Amino acid sequence: MSYHHLALAAKDMKAMHDFYEGVLGFELVKVEIAPIMGGGWGKHFFYRMGGDDTKFIAFWELHDVPGQEDHKFDLNEATNLPPGTNHLSFHAESAEELMMWKDKWNSAGFDVLEIDHNWCHSVYTSDPNGNMVEFCATTGTFTDEDRTRALDALSETEFKPSPPPAKIQPWPSKAA
């Protein structure tokens, strides 16, 4: 089972469109315009991720919504969590694909952080809402010991860190 779509509010829909279609290559395929529960109205934009119609990311452009001037669009700022806690992660097939995303994001003016987590390898940037966006390639396999460790962590109350990442590399934007 997979999810159909993730929906988020957009601070600046045109900037989100430029990022999600122009940079990421997700195709805008549908908009639903409707009243919003609680007042106001919205445009709900759907972007197809990949070649089929089974996975989307969607964004709301809200209008005349009560309290709109106080909305926060960065998921972590809105929930008072540390940066990067809530983030969007998309599948990458390989380390080569990750480096393609790193180069594409850098060339488009975005800073990138690369992390080899020892079982997956990731590149991260931020979208125009300030939300962390990740592409991640699974590079390892899961063992019975991994599952046992995860189950044990459910009830632990002391800090027992995982091994440190094999690599952490910031890649500043190449755009002037």
> Each residue of 98-136: pLDDT tens digit?
999 999 999 999 999 999 999 999 999 999 999 999 999
Average pLDDT, the chain: 95
Give the count of beta carbons closer than 10 Å to the beta carbon of residue 176. Answer: 4
Residue 1 has pLDDT above 80, yes or no: no
In terms of CATH, what superfamily is 81-171?
A: 2,3-Dihydroxybiphenyl 1,2-Dioxygenase, domain 1 (3.10.180.10)
Report the topology of domain 5-70.
2,3-Dihydroxybiphenyl 1,2-Dioxygenase; domain 1 (3.10.180)
> pLDDT digits over 49-97, tens only?
988 899 999 999 999 999 999 999 999 999 999 999 999 999 999 999 9
Residue type, 143: T
Residue 2 has pLDDT above 90, yes or no: no
DSSP 105: H
Per-residue pLDDT at 52: 83
Per-residue pLDDT at 176: 58
Q: Of the candidates 116, 162, 164, 163, which has an alpha carbon nearest to the alpha carbon of residue 137?
A: 116
Positions of E strands within the chain: 5-9, 27-35, 41-48, 56-63, 87-91, 112-116, 120-126, 132-138, 167-171
Domain extents for the chain?
5-70, 81-171
